[in-house]
Chain A
Amino acid sequence: MAKIQLNGKKVLFKSNCSLFDLLKKYKLTNKKVAIEHNGVIVPKINYKKINLKNNDKIEIVHFIGGG
């Protein structure tokens, strides 16, 4: 298991899983989101290429109401 920090919360996730798998788990694959992996913005085409490691910091953001 990999211990990751997802949107500020500690989350346990299977090792050797990709960012795409993470999105799948949270039912976000069809939603408009963007991912930051350890402070670096990940282009969508790389979601399947990047695997989660212990202590990774992930931010998943989306659009919310705002002025």
Chain B
Amino acid sequence: MKKDIFKVAGKTLKSRLIVGTGKYRNFLETAKAIKASGADMVTVAVRRVNILDKKKPILTDYLNPKKIILLPNTAGCFNSDEALRTLRLAREMGGWKLVKLEVLGDKKTLYPNMIETIKSTQILAREGFKVMVYCTDDPLLAKELENNGASAIMPLASPIGSGLGIQNKVNISLIIKQSKVPVIVDAGIGTASDATIAMELGCDGVLVNSAIAKAKKPILMAKAFKNAVVSGRNSYLAGRMIKSHLALASSPFKGLI
């Protein structure tokens, strides 16, 4: 069997699970959960340094960028200018060209503003960034992103942090079928089985934050997600049986006493 390799924006990843680093109780828990998840790529946000407390530890004291790929995101940006500013700063910080773009459009749902998202994708791609793009699950808009240079399409399963799981499997499937770049379900995953479902649909990867960080035992949940993604991928590669509306006996009738 051909080796199943996950390559995104020129980087080969061992795990198809990408995890976020937000909402944990502390940095130690963040680091332990990441380790348990087996992820080799994690998302990070860009914010002001706290100048009032010089001694406070910071996230990068706990994450070694040599061992783990940091994927800077634009969470909290509501227009193209803010997102571009954030990612250009991130590039200066670490020399990263691989970034996650998310331009939000609504404070209640944190739904992406796709017009600004497409605009930003185009500019960033021209500047040489490799852009993984958070987007709605609309196949036409996903295609538009790909045509504008997105390195990965990241449709939401459901609103960010909602834990509602995949709401529109049909759309996610359509996006997977048409895309030539990796499709990674991002946002709304609530529990390990949601990740398995995404992988069984044929997603290339899954991005999870709240479902792990907000679990009662985040480190155990991180492990659950690691296995869920592997199971879902294997199940997809194995190819599921055909569904039937009637029973088909598992034991032969021949030789029945």
Contact = CB atoms under 8 A, between A and B. Distances in A.
Q: How large is the interface on A (under 10, 10 to 19, 20 to 34, 35 or more residues)?
A: 20 to 34
Contacts, number: 104
Interface of B is mostly: mixed
A64 B89 contact: no
B76 to A, nearest CB: 8
Interface string B156-177: 0000110000000000000000
The A interface, classified by DSSP as helix, strand, loop or mixed, is strand
B223 to A, nearest CB: 19
24 contacts: A6-B51, A7-B48, A7-B51, A8-B48, A9-B51, A9-B52, A11-B51, A33-B93, A34-B46, A36-B85, A60-B48, A61-B89, A62-B47, A62-B59, A63-B45, A63-B46, A63-B59, A63-B70, A64-B21, A64-B45, A64-B58, A65-B20, A67-B209, A67-B210
Given A62-B58, A63-B45, A67-B23, 16 more contacts: A31-B49, A32-B93, A33-B49, A34-B89, A34-B93, A35-B92, A61-B48, A62-B49, A64-B44, A65-B23, A65-B24, A65-B45, A66-B209, A67-B20, A67-B22, A67-B73
Interface of B: 20-24, 27, 30, 43-49, 51-52, 54-55, 58-60, 65, 70, 72-73, 75, 85, 88-90, 92-94, 160-161, 187, 207, 209-210
